[in-house]
Structures are given as C-alpha cells and as structure tokens.
Structure 1
Amino acid sequence: MSDLKQYEETIAVYNSNLKGKSTPIYSWDFHNVFLEQVKNYHFDLAKLKAIATQNKWALNNWDIKNSLKEEVIIVTDVKLQIIFASHNIVEMNGYLPTEVIGKTPRMFQGVATNEDVSNEIRNALLDIKPFEKTIINYKKNGETYQCLIKGYPVFDIRGQLSHYIAFEKAA
C-alpha cells in the first residue's frame, strides 16, 4: 500500500513541475467547415425536394445527391428568375444563395461573355430544349471563370413547363 502512495506522490510532484503549453485546436476549424458543408448539403437537398413536390415535378431524372456534392445547382422559374441556388455557389463565384435569388443568370455575365454562346443558350431555352455549354461568367469580385452549364427544362405532371434546372461547375 505504501508503494502505491509513494508512486502517487511522485506522479503529483512530476505533474506539478511540468510546464504545459496550450496549442490552438486547428482540427476544430476543419471539423466545423465539414459540418457546415454537411448541413448545407442536407438543407439544399430538402429545399430541392420541396420545390419539386410543390410544383409537381420529379427529381429522379437527375442524380441530385451527387450533383449537390460536385456542382452548383440553380433552379429558375419560366421567366428565368432564380428561385434556388445551392450553397456551394459561394465556392464557385463568391455569391451567397440569398444574393442571387430573384435575379436572372445573366447577372453572372459581362463584357468577356461570348454573345454567340449566350444566344445559343437563349435559343435552347426558347425552344424548351436541354443544353450543355461552357461560357465565361463573372465572380462577385469581378474575376472571370469558365463555367460549364448543363441546363434542362423541367415539366410538371401535366407536361407543362414549370422551371429550368442547371448544373454548373467551373470548367
């Protein structure tokens, strides 16, 4: 028993002589970013499902779960006003989803945007056809970037045009 008491006293003396240094927890930053991405992913998925249900169209035509991880998803109404933008839009061009809601995708275009490509997209929208184009868009800070856009018309259960959905990523 006395050996154990001597051991505890020795450990206590040793620990009291330690000069501990605290270090910041860097892993918390990574963990927090990851948790925020997971939260935004589930929020975006739920929002897209709600839009689809409310407007009576199906999401099963696309691999939405993987697209949300790899691409920015933008949904517009038939007048091309943005009603949904996934949270990862910030990473692509610096805009928050709330900053683009109610605007048209033309907000991303500018002087360097190729007018021919822009017209091809416009014609596909007027013809209610899917398209895949790479266009020069502008970030919030004014920098340009190549954006690959895969756009599709979305129809409700009656076959009426309801929305457009676009899957975008920096090319």
Structure 2
Amino acid sequence: MSDFRQYEEAIYLYHNRLSVKTVPVYSWDFHNDFLRAMKSFFLDLDKLNTIALQNKWAQNNWDLKNSLKEEVIVVTDVKLQIVFASHNMIAMNGYTAAEVLGKSPKMFQGEATNQITSNEIRKAILKHEPFEKTVMNYKKNGEVYVCLIKGFPVFNNKGELRHYIAFEKAA
C-alpha cells in the first residue's frame, strides 16, 4: 500500500510543478482557416463532379483532387464563359470565384500579355486541341503574374464539345 501512496504523491507533486500556459483564443484562427480551406476544397470538388455528371463528360484521366490542392481550375462553356473557378483562385490573382463567373478568361489579360501566345491558345481552342502555355496575366490589383495554363477541351459521351477545362498555377 505504501508503494501506491508514494507513487500518487510523486504524481501529485509532478503535476503541481507543471506550469501550464494558456493559449489565447485568437491563436485558434489557424484552425478556422484550415477548416474553411477544407470546406472550400470539398465544395469545389462537388461542383466539378456535378458539372461532369450533368454534362456527361467522357472519361478522362484528370486527378481533380490533387489538382484542386495544387492548382486553380477554371471551367468554361463552349462560348468561353467561365462556369466554374476553384476557391484557390483568390490566392493566385485576388479574384473570388463569384467575381469571374459568366466572364471570359480574357479578363486576366492586358498590355503585358503576349498576343502571339494568346493567338496560339485561340487556335488550339478552335481546333478543340489541348494546349500548355505560359502567359502574362493580371491580378485584381493590377500586378502582372506569370501563369502556366494547361487547357483541355471536354467532350461528352457522344463526342460533343461541352466545356473547356484549364489547370492553372502561378509560374
């Protein structure tokens, strides 16, 4: 019995000597940021899957989960109007998805954008071919940034063009 008593006294003394530091509530913001990012990721994935299912996209080999983590994904309709933009666009160029929906990706172009590269992209789109180009785009605040774009036409199961999808990241 005395062994247990000594053990309990030792534990009691140990815990009384610990100096516990409290953490202010505002330091928990990192957790909220993480939760917000995770929620946005899953909402984006759900929206992309919904667009794909509704339009019966043909099977492709895109890894949308990893792409959403590492890149910005933009989907346009056949008239090149943006119908989807991933939440991480704001980190790349300052625009929210809501600000770009219904607009043309040309909204990111300006004086520094190379017209030769833009014409090459346009030709690939008209031919319904994939492309990979680096372009000079503009952020919402007017700053120029280099953007690597990998674009693909998206067809349905019948072979009809339904959308274009672009995987973008600041280069």
| Counterpart in the other structure of 2:137 | 137
Distance in 1, matches of 2:32 and 2:134, equals: 33
Q: Runs of 5+ in structure 2 lacking a partner?
A: 1-20
Structure 1's unaligned 5+ residue stretches are 1-20
- The 3-state SS of whatever aligns with 1:163 is strand
Structure 2 residue identity aligned to 1:91: A
1:29: how far off?
1.1
Deviates more, 1:141-150 or 1:23-32: 23-32
What are the Cα deviations for residues 107-162 of structure 1, in whole angstroms up to 9, with x where unaligned?
Answer: 00001100000000000000100000000000000000000000000000100001
Deviations 1:63-99 (A, max 9, x none): 1000000000000000000000000000000000000
Aligned to 1:56: 56
Q: How big is the alpha-carbon RMSD for the aligned residues of Structure 1 and Structure 2?
A: 1.9
Q: Distance in 2 between matches of 1:70 and 1:113?
A: 24
In structure 2, the partner of 1:74 is: 74
Task: State the 1:60 CA deviation.
Answer: 4.2
Q: Which residue of structure 2 lines up, in the alignment, with residue 83 of structure 1?
A: 83
Give aligned pairs, total. Answer: 155
1:127 paired residue number: 127
Aligned-partner Cα distance in 1 for 2:118–2:22: 56
**Alpha-carbon distance change, 130 to 60 in structure 1, aligned in 2, over 3 angstroms:** closer
- Alpha-carbon distance, 1:59 to partner: 6.1
Q: Which moved more, 1:25-34 or 1:62-71?
A: 25-34
Q: In the alignment, what sits opposite 1:103?
A: 103
- Deviation string for 1:23-57 (max 9, x for gaps)? 63354111111101100000000000000000001
Partner residue in 1 for 2:25: 25
SS of residue matched to 1:107: helix
Give the TM-score, by structure 2 length. 0.85
